[in-house]
Structure 1
Amino acid sequence: MGSSVFASLNDLGWGFFGYLVPFLFVLTIVVFFHELGHYLIAKLNGIRVDVFSIGFGPEIVGFNDRSGTRWKLSAIPLGGYVKFFGDENAASVPDQNAVAALSEAERRQTFPGQPVGSRAAVVAAGPIANFLLAIVIFAGIFMLHGKQVTTPRVDAVQAGSAAEAAGFVAGDVILSIDGRKIESFADMQRIVSGAAGQTLRVEVERGGVVQSLQVVPTLREIKDNFGNVHRVGVLGISRSMSPGDVKFESVGPLAAVRLGAEETWFIVERTLSYIGGVVTGREAADQLGGPIRIAQVSGQVATAGFVALLHLTAVLSVSIGLLNLFPVPLLDGGHLLFYAVEAVRGKPLSERAQEVGFRIGFALVLMLMIFATFNDILHLTSS
């Protein structure tokens, strides 16, 4: 019995590290580039940067560069921050008394001492860096592996499916969906997966003649290779895998960047569509995940190889960049909202108004984190 218990604890330990290491790899890259965006644009605007930290809490290791910035790795690896000269804390709250006591030359090196346009550029640079990172990763994957293109030809139609009800037949080639050109079977799947319950107008080529069909994708639960359940829209058709319909294309640098940008935009579009569905009641909020789910998925994806882990890094980078652009005080988007109001009014909001806004933002972010963690725990206990 003792050896059995030891073996179970050993498996648990290895399982924990199997999740932890990929999770830290993914999150560190995403956070680093997000904060690097803030850092680089701040330096371009002459702002002095005191601290560049990956993680929060006590410092584990660090060094000072020639400009005086302290680069460090901290104990709690769930984020990071850039602390500017004149800031009171890691949340970039300015120390008003300290800033007031500075000389004019020193004040120009602080974040609050910058014009509203410069401050907005520094704040926006973080999410933009996340999008650029994703594009670069996706582009690199396309250049390395090329692109598989499967002709959007229907091989078979499932009995009783949405496709059968709409009049699809074997041999149909899908040309467009709601006016969007379809070049591969994957293009069709991406649109359909996020359109359960919606009426789609599909143009198909049948025997050399273009026909228009209307179809409502059915919501179905499917399991991925790791056993995770996803709810997606399906038509009930299978693709043609004949040699003439499946090919691999090499991708050059410019085409790879374009495809990387398209992949990034698809994630943005799908995420916004999902959030809109949650608000309107079309989608269930139980798909929202937090750090536990990210750690679990990171560990699972890591077993598929380094390229798969990089792909997850790009997806997470887009998600974090988009989340930070939401107009919620405390997030980058909330700061940008305040700066937009300041640009219109010609003066910033009062300290009291900003403080109330940040408290509301903190409450919203905290509730979202609790809800996501609750979903994570339910997901673990049900899997």
Structure 2
Amino acid sequence: MLKGGAGTLGAFLLALSCLIFIHELGHFAVARWVGVKVLRFSIGLGRPLWRRQAKNGIEWVVALFPLGGYVRMLDEREGPVSPLDVQHAFNQKTLAQRSAIVVAGPLANFLLAWLLFSLLYTLGIPGQRPCLDAPETGTLAWNAGIRAGECVLSLDGGAIRTWQDFELEWPRAIRGRGTVTLVTRNDRGQEEVHRLATVHVTSAAEEEGVEGSGFHLWAPPLPPVVGEVIPDSVADEAGLKPLDRLLRVAGQPVETWAQVVRIVENHPQAIVEIELQRAGQTRKLQVIPRAVDLPNGRRIGRIGISPQVTETMRRQWTVLEKDSPLTALGHGAMKTWSLTLLTLDSFGQMLTGQASLDDLGGPVRIASLAGESARSGLLSYLHFMALISLSLGVLNLLPIPLLDGGHLLYHAVEWVRGRPLSTEILGLTQRLGFFLLAGLMVFTFLNDLRHFFNH
């Protein structure tokens, strides 16, 4: 369950409030620009906790429930409007102006994600070098001639600078394609071009990502010494400390960190005894690895520790993605576009049953991620905010009544028909949209509870 509740809740509320404010600010700015009168700008829903009436008549509100917000505009469909103000009513504006107001919210979230990614690339994002370990015989990577020691340079013409880039771009590169081109540099400094027949990639391998096709990240052999213990993790609760040298795990002697990982992963929700050396003394303790379900259906164990990495190893293993401000803007735009396509693809797979709905997270899981990212540092927290802002933008463009995408769907129908939908149809579809969104919130909340109670 969640620990360190105050910090987690604070990080969650700060991120959510900022993202909602940016979203509603998009609606607000364009509404004012096209001459619509704004009555209220609310962060949160429900009973106002704080309100202030500005001189221009706009009421600024912070409300009780932080899971949303809204900009209330003058509209003849919601009540009587003074003849002097009719020209400033939302419903009196052209279809293009109303659509611009609606789409401005999600666009503001995409813009924020782009700026945050650009800022991160300017500050420098640490990543793992995209160097490959030996692939298993018979896999796609093996058949293409990939061998241990090669480092990925590009995938279908797109530069690959980190292992994280490769993991992100691989699913999109192979989907619907017969072949993809992978350029690598071997340990002799020579570039090699590999053409991979992705038509033979199975759906199971596709779900496993790069590793399902035989690509594995190379890492220098690390000793079984704990470098970091995640706060409130299984390892933290059991008493593991940084600099502990692990001697035996589940009764098996360990000489490398990879052995530790493999044993822990193979014991989800099982009692595992760890023998370790601390300050010259041998100790024993027990952990129960938290179960984590992978997209391919496999369940593994994790306890929340990372290895000790020397500066020499770090230079071998990691790379800092750092750009000039101008280059960072372009890189940030590419990252935003790639993740948007990936998010849309994930939604599509869930709707068609190709991906499990269990992957959907709600407010509890998002709050947990907010807390973890905040504890990991400012860069991690900003990265989390960029991802959630992008997801919020995509979600709001879905054609569901009550969401911005639903309003855009109404406008599309109006454009085809030449007149708006009737009040009765609008009311009916919005009630259906409400029940759909409420059901989705309940489902994700129950998903979250199951996730945390089972782990």
Q: How far apart, in 2, do the equivalents of 1:117 and 1:292 lie?
A: 38
Q: TM-score, normalised by structure 1?
A: 0.81
- Residue among 116, 124, 138 paired with 1:137: 116
Residue number in structure 1 paired with 2:73: 84
> Displacement, 1:156?
2.9
Contact 1:131 1:318 in 2 (8 A): yes
Alignment map for 1:1-383 (pairs within 5 Å): 15-86=4-75, 94-95=77-78, 97-99=79-81, 102-103=82-83, 105-145=84-124, 150=129, 152-158=130-136, 163-164=141-142, 167-174=145-152, 177=155, 179-184=156-161, 185-192=163-170, 201-204=180-183, 210-214=193-197, 216=201, 217=205, 219-220=207-208, 229=292, 231=294, 247-248=319-320, 250-383=322-455
**Matched residue of 1:364: which SS?**
helix
Contact 2:126 2:318 in 1 (8 A): no
Structure 2: unaligned runs, 5 residues or longer? 212-229, 234-289, 297-312
Give the length in aligned residue pairs. Answer: 352
Q: Which has the higher helix share?
A: 1
Contact 1:58 1:75 in 2 (8 A): yes
> Displacement, 1:55?
0.8
Q: How far apart, in 1, do the equivalents of 2:111 and 2:373 lie?
A: 22
Q: How far apart, in 2, do the equivalents of 1:209 and 1:339 lie?
A: 52
State the identity as a percent: 36
Q: How far apart, in 2, do the equivalents of 1:296 and 1:127 lie?
A: 24
Contact 1:49 1:69 in 2 (8 A): yes
- Shift of the 359–25 alpha-carbon distance from structure 1 to 2, 3 Å rule, reads same
**Matched residue of 1:135: which SS?**
helix
Structure 1: unaligned runs, 5 residues or longer? 1-10, 88-93, 234-240
- Shift of the 309–196 alpha-carbon distance from structure 1 to 2, 3 Å rule, reads same
Q: TM-score, normalised by structure 2?
A: 0.69
Q: How far apart, in 2, do the equivalents of 1:308 and 1:175 lie?
A: 25
Q: How far apart, in 1, do the equivalents of 2:367 and 2:438 lie?
A: 19
> Which range moves more in the overlay, 27-36 or 297-306?
297-306
> Displacement, 1:357?
1.5
> Displacement, 1:167?
4.2
**Matched residue of 2:41: which SS?**
strand
Contact 1:219 1:231 in 2 (8 A): no
- Shift of the 16–211 alpha-carbon distance from structure 1 to 2, 3 Å rule, reads closer
Q: How far apart, in 1, do the equivalents of 2:107 and 2:101 lie?
A: 10
- Shift of the 192–208 alpha-carbon distance from structure 1 to 2, 3 Å rule, reads closer
> Which range moves more in the overlay, 184-193 or 338-347?
184-193
Q: CA RMSD in A?
A: 3.2
Contact 1:194 1:232 in 2 (8 A): no
Q: How far apart, in 2, do the equivalents of 1:344 and 1:114 lie?
A: 17
> Displacement, 1:27?
0.3
CA shift digits 1:199-221 (9 cap, x unpaired): 76343457655342335346459
Contact 2:35 2:88 in 1 (8 A): yes
Contact 1:196 1:219 in 2 (8 A): no
> Which range moves more in the overlay, 246-255 or 276-285?
246-255
> Displacement, 1:24?
0.1
- Shift of the 167–362 alpha-carbon distance from structure 1 to 2, 3 Å rule, reads same
CA shift digits 1:300-347 (9 cap, x unpaired): 111101221121111111111111111111110111111122122221
- What amino acid does structure 1 have at the position aligned with 2:148? A
> Displacement, 1:154?
2.8
Q: How far apart, in 2, do the equivalents of 1:72 and 1:228 lie?
A: 42
